[in-house]
Structure 1
Amino acid sequence: MGIGSEHAAWIQTLSGFLGCPLGLVEGSETLEADAASSTLEGVMGPPHSGITTELLVKLLVTRRDDGGLDVWALVFFFVDKRRVAERDKCYLTVEWREGQWARRGWEADAEGEWAGLETLE
């Protein structure tokens, strides 16, 4: 897909957008003919014994029919290892538009795809 160098830039700018340094989860990258995905993780703030806020991010890229790329991320928030979100929602969706990240909004897990992700281990 030719997203190698762009992938690193998307991660860096997404880290800034979310206010949390994100790192690639080893072995999480998938690459197909017209789609790619990877999982990122990060901890907000310095380590301490109080409340811990962690992010798990699914970064997704698909190639459009016109050759361009659609890039978006599903952002899961965890407080003390338990997933938190707006009522009846599961994750925050953000998308890459015109060279920057933009918030698309909270979304529900209509298909039950993320049902096993209630807590972090």
Structure 2
Amino acid sequence: MAHRNRLSTSQFAAVFDRGFRHNHKWFTLRVLPVESDGERGSTGRVLWGFAVGKRLASSSVERNRLRRRLRAAVAGLESPCDAWVVVQLRARGREASQSELRSAIGRALQAMGGPDAS
């Protein structure tokens, strides 16, 4: 995932402060719809952030591996609207496969009325 598709520190904080939250057994999803810049056609732009806590994986190597799995799981998900999204992994999410995470995140986004999985 290109860095231009990731949230900055201030955007990440804004999602936690003002975003909508959806709890799933594998993750907590936070979505903050943002105003469209009008650059894209029929799909919106999604900026992603990923949170993996030290309680989940004490080693930075393991946390980074889990973040890479999350980035790969959401790669290619498109959106009908512009949004900032943070995926916060839970302990039970460590055992989920990448395809299971992808479909669960897509369903959660649809349920929130946010970006749509394609």
Classify the TM-score, shorter chain. 0.3 to 0.5
Larger Rg: 1
- Structure with higher helix content: 2
TM-score norm. by structure 1 comes to 0.34
TM-score norm. by structure 2 comes to 0.35
